[in-house]
Amino acid sequence: MSKYPKSVVLLALAMTAGSLPVAAAPAATADLVLINGKVITVDKAFAVKSAVAVKDGRIVAVGGKEIGRKWKAARTIDLKGRTLMPGFIDAHLHLKGVSHRSIEPDKARSITELGAMVAAKARELGPGEWVAGSGWDEALLAEKRNPTRADLDAIAPDNPVVLVRAGAHSAVGNSLALKLAGIDAATPDPDGGLIERGADGVPNGMIRERTDLLLRLVPADSAEQMRPSYVRALKDLLALGITSFMEAWTTIDDEPVERGGLAGGGGNAVRGHTFRQLRTIYDQQGEDLPRATLYIMYPGAERLKKFPHHTGFGDDRLKLGPIGESAYDGGFTGPTARTSKDYKGQPGFRGTTFMTEHALQEMVDTSARLGWQLGIHAIGDEAIDTVASAYHRTLSARPKADHRWFLSHFTMLPTEQTMRTMAADGIWTTAQPNFTYNLEGRYLQVLDGERLDRINPVATPISYGVNVVMSSDNLPIGPMVGLYAAVTRKGMAGHQFAKAEAITREEAIRLYTAKAAALTWDEARKGSIEPGKFADFIVLDRDPLTVPAEQLLQTRVDLTFVGGKLVWDRQAN
């Protein structure tokens, strides 16, 4: 006999049989629903869905047409077939602020245009004032050569001028700038750098790596003067679909001296900014900006001991990452990357290192002891071998689980033993496949054989079990160039590098999103389109999985969302 009254049993049977109406479940509420798209989730299965629901800044549902029925939202966006995917996470870039005395050389397409910019700024500032700027690239200039002191002398003889090349490993100055720096025909090459000279032995204006010889003379703008340009640079990342990034050049110089700062403090107007400066910006308007994790340049053992924080300090908008970039060697924009064999056509020259192996080991040991992740710059194969060995010695003496240390760049293939050791030690790399595209001409000038063919490897280190993420290092920042170069291995002028290092589009997207999130221990919070994660995603004007490879370079970001908030709309800009 049933323990329930007969009336209750009859009512239940009637409802089950459908003879009485059953009220439909109310629709769940959301802040935003996007429907009718191609949603590349980048989950473990790389599943493709068509709709997403967002509430309180996080993804609450991913699926198909049922999302539009189950979720009632304050705003619904019909994607009309467009592709939605996680926002890109650039694990290595340099935020560029623009001083009042700076031009923007990256916008010049000839030395003539570059000269016009310099001349206009010199007139604006008046005689004797420094003119500066960064981002020129000879590959993008009509003349296909570096500007020289003679070019700049003809334009601005009464103003000291210094222009940093894209990549920040070399700079050109005019005669007045060189004179103020005390550089002439008798000046020897500085430690860690080179002064380029003409056939007559006279400096031609180009300085490799030791750009500080000129930059230190440029008067710095205040943090207040620089702040608007930093905010503009941060918002520019959103237009490229970058919802999170790792800033690779931040200092603690303006902290109080008792907390590791320098007496006088401050960053440099051309090359630097500080943790305090960026924290102020994010405190004021962080919700409108991409999420940031900061590398901290190694300040030395005593200053780092005084600094009260380490990796992980901060919040989901701005936090501290590794001790890095703290370059061990130079780069190929110099070119001064430290290689195991001579550069092509330069007998005896194998690049430059910026510190001794003893100093490198001290930096690694101290940083590890104080609780920091590490991300040291190593580009040449010999540099990679050396930095990986320093990591190995520290980890062997002081084992540390889940440290996620990495090498910034990993531009050349090191020895097989190094890759095995890196895999065993759990060392990651932040790779820049876009270098293959942008630095094609430089590589062809200075490298040959397999080391040329295998430049910017991705497939090989992965095959050894090394964790790889993708990033840009500003050459250029746009992730679509990175995707294109990673899957095609083609340079800007069409040179075909070894296809064996190519990866699939799915792999490239994963390394630029979900995998990159893991480098900062954020894999449970971002990097894929899954319930519970931040609603950090982008809408593209074409499908990066199916368009012809060349069209990846033309793919544009229509919409960018961070925490469910629309922060970029191409139609409105």
Sign of CA dihedral 439, 344, 164, 267: positive
Which pair of tokens denotes residue 533?
Answer: 């994660």
Name the CATH superfamily housing domain 324-503: Metal-dependent hydrolases (3.20.20.140)
**CA–CA separation, 252 and 255 (whole Å):** 6
Classified as helix, coil or strand, 368 is helix
Classified as helix, coil or strand, 101 is coil
**CA–CA separation, 337 and 363 (whole Å):** 20
Phi-psi region of 39 (alpha: psi -120 to 50; beta: other; left: phi over 0): beta
pLDDT in tens, 148-207: 999 999 999 999 999 999 878 899 999 999 999 999 999 999 988 899 999 999 999 999
Q: Domain boundaries in the chain? A: 100-215, 324-503
Residue 272: pLDDT band (50, 70, 90) is low
pLDDT in tens, 51-109: 999 999 999 999 999 999 999 999 999 999 999 999 999 999 999 888 899 999 989 99
The rounded percent of the chain whose pLDDT value lies above 90 is 86
- For residue 512, pLDDT over 90 is answered with yes
- For residue 268, pLDDT over 70 is answered with no
Q: What is the DSSP string of 466-493?
A: -EEEE--TTTT--HHHHHHHHHH-B-TT
Q: What is the structure's pLDDT at 181? A: 95
324-503 and 100-215 share a CATH fold: no
Q: What is the structure's pLDDT at 524? A: 98
- For residue 3, pLDDT over 50 is answered with no
- For residue 11, pLDDT over 70 is answered with no
Neighbours of 201 (CB within 10 A): 8
Classified as helix, coil or strand, 185 is coil
Pairing status of strand 170-173 against strand 375-378: unpaired
Cite the DSSP H helix spans in 126-246.
Answer: 149-155, 175-180, 212-215, 223-239
Q: What is the structure's pLDDT at 265? A: 63
**CA-to-CA separations, 90 to 238, 383, 432, in angstroms, rounded:** 12, 23, 10
**CA–CA separation, 178 and 429 (whole Å):** 37
**CA–CA separation, 376 and 387 (whole Å):** 8
Pairing status of strand 131-136 against strand 102-103: parallel
- For residue 359, pLDDT over 70 is answered with yes
- For residue 9, pLDDT over 50 is answered with no
**Fold of the 100-215 domain:** Diaminopimelate Epimerase; Chain A, domain 1 (3.10.310)
Mean pLDDT of 320-327: 96
The rounded percent of the chain whose pLDDT value lies above 70 is 94
Q: What is the structure's pLDDT at 445? A: 94
Mean pLDDT of 263-287: 76
Mean pLDDT of 463-475: 97
**CA–CA separation, 234 and 456 (whole Å):** 27
Please, are residues 281 and 321 in contact by the beta-carbon 8 Å criterion? Answer: no
Q: What is the structure's pLDDT at 226? A: 87
Edge-to-edge strand ranges of the sheet holding 291-296: 88-93, 242-247, 291-296, 318-323
- For residue 244, pLDDT over 60 is answered with yes
Q: Which residues pair with 381 in a beta bridge?
A: none
Stretch (H or E) spanning 518? helix 514-519
Q: Cis omega (within 30 of 0) on the bond before 325? A: yes
How far is Cα of residue 204 from the mean position of the Cα atoms in its chain?
32
- For residue 334, pLDDT over 90 is answered with no
Give the burial class of 16: count Cβ atoms within 10 A of its Cβ; 0-12 exposed, 13-18 middle, 19 or more buried: exposed
Q: What is the structure's pLDDT at 253? A: 94
Written as one letter, the residue type at 465 is G
**CA–CA separation, 573 and 351 (whole Å):** 44
**CA–CA separation, 178 and 385 (whole Å):** 36
Mean pLDDT of 251-256: 94
Largest distance between two CA atoms of the chain: 111
**CA–CA separation, 144 and 441 (whole Å):** 10
Q: What is the structure's pLDDT at 96? A: 86
b (16+ CB within 10 A) / e for 248-281:
bbbbbbbbeeeebbeeebbbbbbbbbbbbbbbeb
Mean pLDDT of 133-140: 89
Which pair of tokens denotes residue 97?
Answer: 């602020």
- For residue 22, pLDDT over 60 is answered with no
Sign of CA dihedral 441, 442, 444, 450: negative
Residue 25: pLDDT band (50, 70, 90) is low
Which residue, among 214, 111, 129, 219, has the nearest Cα to 168 in the 3D structure?
Answer: 214
- For residue 146, pLDDT over 70 is answered with yes
Classified as helix, coil or strand, 301 is helix
Residue 139: pLDDT band (50, 70, 90) is confident
Q: What are phi and psi of 376, to 5 degrees?
A: -80, 140
Mean pLDDT of the chain: 93
Which pair of tokens denotes residue 331?
Answer: 């780069």
Please, are residues 492 and 51 in contact by the beta-carbon 8 Å criterion? Answer: no
**CA-to-CA separations, 406 to 21, 305, 403, in angstroms, rounded:** 62, 22, 9
Query: What's the whole-model pTM score?
Result: 0.87
Please, are residues 452 and 439 in contact by the beta-carbon 8 Å criterion? Answer: no
Q: Which residue has the tokens 């299965």?
A: 45
